[in-house]
Chains A and B, each alone.
Chain A
Amino acid sequence: GAVVSQHPSWVICKSGTSVKIECRSLDFQATTMFWYRQFPKQSLMLMATSNEGSKATYEQGVEKDKFLINHASLTLSTLTVTSAHPEDSSFYICSARVPGANVLTFGAGSRLTVL
């Protein structure tokens, strides 16, 4: 089946540093990937839509300069949290639409802790 892999699964960084999270579609090509953020005991909130070869589309209220998204190939999207602060600590989950099917496959998530 379609698999989406995220790396790293968890990361701890110091405040002010930048962190990159990768999202890969392992056995299919994904022209579009989606990045979600999940706060503890809350639902997933869509942050942005990552489009291969073009700029990402950000949801209202999401800082484009804080959360940089790059979709350089049909199997890889990256989310970079720039100048991270403790309030950026969260669980970040990516997903991709399986070609030919109206379903999303989700990665296992990446837990970011900013000290």
Chain B
Amino acid sequence: AQSVTQPDIHITVSEGASLELRCNYSYGATPYLFWYVQSPGQGLQLLLKYFSGDTLVQGIKGFEAEFKRSQSSFNLRKPSVHWSDAAEYFCAVGARLSSSKLTFGTGTRLQVTL
């Protein structure tokens, strides 16, 4: 069975500082990997996805993520965080043949201090 682990429940960074949110997955084959962001009381917005090819993927809002097969990781990064980035971030994994069915991690809440 596929699973996703986000080891950091809550992270606080200063505005302008760099950010890395960790995500580890467990899946028997090559997975489809996603990062979503959720603002309070809102649905999820897709930040970026990885299916194949270049292991460093660029997303919206200046986010990027790197797929490392050897570490079963797909960490999300941003060079300089803005106060508006404060939200809940979810990593998700889907099966290659049916990526519509996603398994989500428990999320990381990002707080940005001014």
Contact = CB atoms under 8 A, between A and B. Distances in A.
Contact of B101 (A45, A46, A103): A46
Interface in B49-104: 49, 51, 90, 94, 99-104
Contacts of B90: 43-44
Interface stretch (A61-69, A77-85, A105-113): A105-113
A54 interface: no
Contacts, number: 51
A102 B98 CA distance: 8
Nearest to A97: B100
Question: A interface, by DSSP: helix, strand, loop or mixed?
Answer: strand
A43 B100 contact: no
A6, A44, A111 — most chain B CB neighbours (10 Å): A44
A102 B106 contact: no
Contacts of A102: 32, 49, 51, 94, 99-100
Contacts of B44: 44, 93, 95, 106
A107 B43 contact: yes
B8 to A, nearest CB: 14
B28 interface: no
Contacts of A41: 107, 109
Given A41-B107, A45-B104, A102-B51, 11 more contacts: A42-B107, A44-B44, A93-B44, A102-B100, A103-B99, A106-B36, A106-B44, A107-B43, A108-B43, A109-B41, A109-B43
Interface of B: 32, 34, 36, 41-46, 49, 51, 90, 94, 99-107, 109
